[in-house]
């Protein structure tokens, strides 16, 4: 399993800090058992960071009218909402919550042309908070399919997440399942679909990003 490129710098910095800290502690006369415990804790912490930045291979196999889940996690909401940023009409919102243990690579739920991509600074409410979709730091991306259908997805920061990476560029042509971004450390992704879409996941489902079919247009 490979590491995601977004993890290279954080992992290098963390390795330097933890190594320097353990070397420093070894010179201040701590009891051997305490020092061993701290070294072990450092190894466990670093191991978790390596695990967090994992980037497993995913194989997207969908028909032209199907969307895949853009992230690993748990489906926490399927509801009709009034979307006021781009569409200004009613949409079906499917929300997937990612815990720090999930793969945090985000993917395009459907292929087409990026017609909108915007970053919004904001708060850091817990990602499952009802108002996190509009109050938290987030990115909004809209992709238009070859048939003229438009699908929005949002990366939403949570209480722990402090960095959202969005790769979408206006006019860029993307494929279903292609990488669209990354979020550190625990967060949520919302997908906003036309009301005519048929949602194929249920509340509490645990989809696999890039592989689980989310809906049909």
Is there a catalytic annotation at residue 117? Answer: no
pLDDT over 70 (residue 129)? no
**Which one is predicted more confidently, 7 or 171?**
171
Tell me: do 83 and 141 sit in the same domain. yes
In this structure, are residues 75 and 203 in contact, taking their beta carbons and an 8 Å threshold? Answer: yes
Digit-coded pLDDT (tens) for 176-204: 999 999 987 768 899 999 999 999 999 99
In this structure, are residues 143 and 114 in contact, taking their beta carbons and an 8 Å threshold? Answer: yes
**Catalytic residue (one of 42, 132, 180, 187):** 187
Tell me: do 8 and 88 sit in the same domain. no
- Give the structural domain span for 47: 2-55
Global pTM reads: 0.87
Digit-coded pLDDT (tens) for 41-81: 999 999 999 998 999 999 999 988 999 999 999 999 999 99
Among the ranges given (33-37, 66-70, 85-89), the one the predictor scored with the smallest mean pLDDT = 33-37
Last residue of a domain, one of 16, 31, 55: 55
On whether residue 60 sits in a domain, the answer given is no
**Which one is predicted more confidently, 46 or 30?**
46
pLDDT at 126: 60
Split into its structural domains, the chain has a count of 2
On whether residue 61 sits in a domain, the answer given is no
Angle at 38 between CA 34 and CA 44, to 5 degrees: 145
Last residue of a domain, one of 12, 34, 55: 55
Which residues, in sequence order, are bridge partners of residue 120?
A: 138
Tell me: do 132 and 202 sit in the same domain. yes
């Amino acid at each position: 399993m490979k590491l995601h490129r977004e993890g290279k710098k954080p992992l290098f910095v963390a390795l330097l800090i933890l190594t320097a800290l353990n070397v420093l502690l070894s010179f201040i006369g701590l009891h051997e058992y305490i020092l061993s415990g701290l070294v072990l804790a450092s190894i466990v912490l670093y191991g978790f960071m390596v695990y967090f930045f994992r980037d497993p291979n995913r194989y997207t196999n969908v028909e032209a009218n199907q969307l895949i889940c853009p992230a690993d996690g748990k489906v926490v909401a399927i509801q009709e909402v009034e979307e006021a940023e781009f569409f200004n009409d009613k949409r079906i919102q499917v929300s997937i919550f990612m815990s720090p243990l999930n793969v945090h690579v985000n993917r395009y739920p459907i292929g087409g042309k990026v017609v909108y991509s915007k970053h919004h600074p904001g708060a850091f409410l817990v990602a499952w908070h009802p108002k996190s979709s509009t109050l938290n730091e987030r990115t909004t991306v809209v992709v238009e399919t070859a048939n003229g259908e438009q699908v929005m997805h949002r990366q939403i920061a949570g209480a722990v997440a402090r960095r959202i990476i969005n790769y979408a560029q206006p006019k860029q042509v993307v494929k279903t399942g292609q990488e669209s971004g990354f979020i550190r450390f625990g967060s949520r992704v919302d997908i906003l679909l036309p009301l005519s879409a048929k949602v194929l996941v249920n509340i509490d489902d645990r989809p696999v990003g890039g592989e689980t079919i989310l809906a049909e247009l």
